[in-house]
Structure 1
Amino acid sequence: MKEIYLGGGCFWGMEAYFKRVKGILDTKVGYGNSCVLNPSYRDVCSGETGAVEALYVKYDENVMPLERILYHFFQNINPTTLNRQGNDIGTQYRSGIYYIDEKDLPIINDYLLKESKKYSNKIVTEVKKMENFYPAEEYHQSYLEKNPEGYCHNLGAILDLKKTEDYKEV
């Protein structure tokens, strides 16, 4: 089993998407790389924590290798917008790939190099080691399951996922 963290704007939609990907064993939304211990949602939204809204992903690399995780990640973001995804604006909504295992870094960098050829603008998705992660408040966990009418920038990506062999029912 492997773990990675992904920052893709609104963590609600990222979680809803990745829960539907084969090989994903667990997800949790939270705040990553904060300079404040155990920040609240309000703290993170202030922009003073340096935290990113992130999705923790535990996965079976034999079913869903990291390259395929990254493929799905890029289906959910615009990697050329800084501190913004859809209508969500702020440093906490920046896109990022946050690794734990140093062995993942060459895979991530190779993938970004290939992905960058698809865009005329520079990819600004940050790649960093995950230094700390604080789970978000309980009401944020599985938010779109609890609130199916909730907004998120990537709802179209979830519909597109259903058309692929990587889709699983939740």
Structure 2
Amino acid sequence: MALEIATFGGGCFWCTEAVFQQIRGIKSVEPGYSGGQVDNPSYEQICEGSTGHAEVVRLIFDNAVVSYKALVEIFFAIHDPTTLNRQGGDVGTQYRSVIFCQTEQQMTCATTVMAELAAKSEKPLVTALEMAPVFYPAEDYHHNYFKMNSRQRYCTLVVAPKVAQVRQLFSTGQPA
């Protein structure tokens, strides 16, 4: 088994966690914070928007089952990479579109996928590509948030439609 790590920030981590939990080959999805200047930030600090961190998910995946390229394609399908520091009603640098690459190979792959997407997009992509900084796990109550709170208003209005979209588009766990 060829386990690898991928880290994506595409708005609220409750959404991205729930979506990536649907994908075959992903062994774990952990919400957290990355890319800022504050050590061990709290959710309250993140919400203030002054830490520089983005809400992200760190994936452990089996590259023999789902490729990094497929994960990048899914990431771009589930959020708007053309809006700076926001996803829907979630506004602030903590909700920015970012890929934190673990290796130079991931950086090359993500750059290629972004170039292909940019060629088809009417608006410029604002997704940042960076080598992965320190990852800080989110507080326990954020883990499996959608699974544990699926009837909560934000989950029914924002998270559930994204989960349904990824189930429809990527039912096999890989982009078509």
Which TM-score bucket, shorter chain as reference? over 0.9
Alignment of 1:7-26 (within 5 A): 7-26=9-28
- Contact 2:52–2:93 (CA<8 Å) still a contact in 1? yes
Task: Classify the secondary structure of the residue corresponding to 1:48.
Answer: coil
Preserved contact between residue 82 and residue 126 of structure 2 (Cα < 8 Å): yes
Residues of 1 paired with 2:58 and 2:136: CA distance? Answer: 10
Shift of 1:66: 1.0
Structure 1 residue 154: Cα displacement:
4.7
Structure 1 gap segments, 5+ residues each: none
Q: What secondary structure does 1:6 align onto?
A: strand
Whether the aligned pair in 2 keeps the contact of 1:9 and 1:95 (CA below 8 Å) is yes
Aligned counterpart in structure 1 of residue 171 of structure 2, from 154, 165, 168 = 165
Residue in structure 1 matched with residue 95 of structure 2 by the alignment: 93
Q: Deviations over 1:89-117 (max 9, x none)?
A: 01000011111112211111001000112
TM-score by length of 1: 0.93
Higher share in helix: 2
Runs of 4+ in 1 over 6 A off after TM superposition: none
Identify the match of residue 50 of structure 2 among 48, 51, 54.
48
Which amino acid in the other structure matches residue 59 of structure 1?
F
In structure 2, distance between residues paired with 1:64 and 1:41 = 31
Q: Percent identity?
A: 35
Corresponding residue for residue 118 of structure 2: 116
Look up the SS of the partner of 2:172 in the other structure: coil
SS in 1 for 2:111: helix
Partner of 2:130: 128
Question: Which stretches in structure 2 are left out of the alignment for 5+ residues?
Answer: none
Deviation at 1:71, TM superposition (A): 1.2
| Secondary structure, counterpart of 2:120 in structure 1 | coil
Q: Could you give the per-residue CA deviations for residues 32-84 of structure 1, whole angstroms, max 9, x where no partner exists? A: 02201100011111221100000001111111101110111112110100000
Q: Which moved more, 1:96-105 or 1:10-19?
A: 96-105
Contact in 2 for aligned 1:11/1:54 (Cα 8 Å): yes
What is the one-letter code of the residue matched to 2:20?
F
1:90, 1:166 → 2: CA distance? 33
Decide whether the 8 Å contact of 1:77 with 1:154 is kept in 2.
Answer: no
Q: Which residue of 1 aligns with 2:6?
A: 4
The answer to whether the aligner puts 1:32 opposite 2:34 as a matched pair is: yes
- 2: CA distance between counterparts of 1:122 and 1:57? 27
Question: How many angstroms apart in 1 are the aligned matches of 2:162 and 2:50?
Answer: 31
Q: 2:161: which partner in 1?
A: 156
Instruction: Tell me the amino acid that sits aligned with residue 58 of structure 2.
Output: Y
RMSD between superposed Cα atoms in Å: 1.5
Q: In the alignment, does 2:88 pair up with 1:82?
A: no
Q: Which residue of 1 aligns with 2:60?
A: 58
